[in-house]
Amino acid sequence: MKNKGISGFGVIIIIMILLIIGYGAYQIARVHLTRSTIAEKVEHAVKTGYAMQNREIINQLTREAKEANIELNPDSVIIDRTINDSLRIYVAYDDSSSIFGLFTYTKHFVIDKIALIELRF
């Protein structure tokens, strides 16, 4: 008899391999998608933070990061108002993802945003 294709057991193995690869890719992508979310939060804070105290900005960013399941250390948020007519926010944090408890993907992120302060009269 001629072999006419893959067996049912072979299909199950292929599906399981694809699911494992997909899950690993999702765990790695999740870390980078979370970084995008935090970057958007920092971008918003730098645009609207000129009217806020530094402590308020830091509290807002740590609260929003916690909502995204990131533990942001307040000491890793640096707010610089020394540049003329601008606000700079620098945030550094680590994010990791565990893949089946066998592998851990860890990435260090730095988000540095500067915005001009536009005063309107």
- Residue 65 near residue 92 (C-beta atoms within 8 A): no
pLDDT (0 to 100) of residue 36? 92
Tokens for 40, please give them: 């958007």
pLDDT (0 to 100) of residue 5? 66
pLDDT tens readout for residues 2-48: 666 677 888 899 999 999 999 999 999 999 999 999 999 999 999 88
- Residue 43 near residue 83 (C-beta atoms within 8 A): no
- Residue 46 near residue 114 (C-beta atoms within 8 A): yes
Q: What is the mean pLDDT of residues 91-99?
A: 91
pLDDT (0 to 100) of residue 6? 73
Predicted TM-score of the model (pTM): 0.77
pLDDT band, residue 120 (cuts 50/70/90): low
Residue carrying the six token digits 């893959």:
6
Q: Sort 85 into a burial class: Cβ within 10 Å, 0-12 / 13-18 / 19+.
A: exposed
In the sheet that 86-99 helps form, which strands lie side by side, from edge to edge?
Answer: 77-80, 86-99, 103-116
Q: What is the mean pLDDT of residues 88-109?
A: 90
pLDDT (0 to 100) of residue 37? 92
User: Which residues, including other chains, have CB under 8 Å from residue 109's CB and lie 6 or more apart?
Assistant: 35, 38, 92, 93, 94, 95
The identity of residue 57, as a single letter, is: I
Q: What is the mean pLDDT of residues 39-64?
A: 91
Residue from 27, 26, 32 nearest 111 by CA: 32
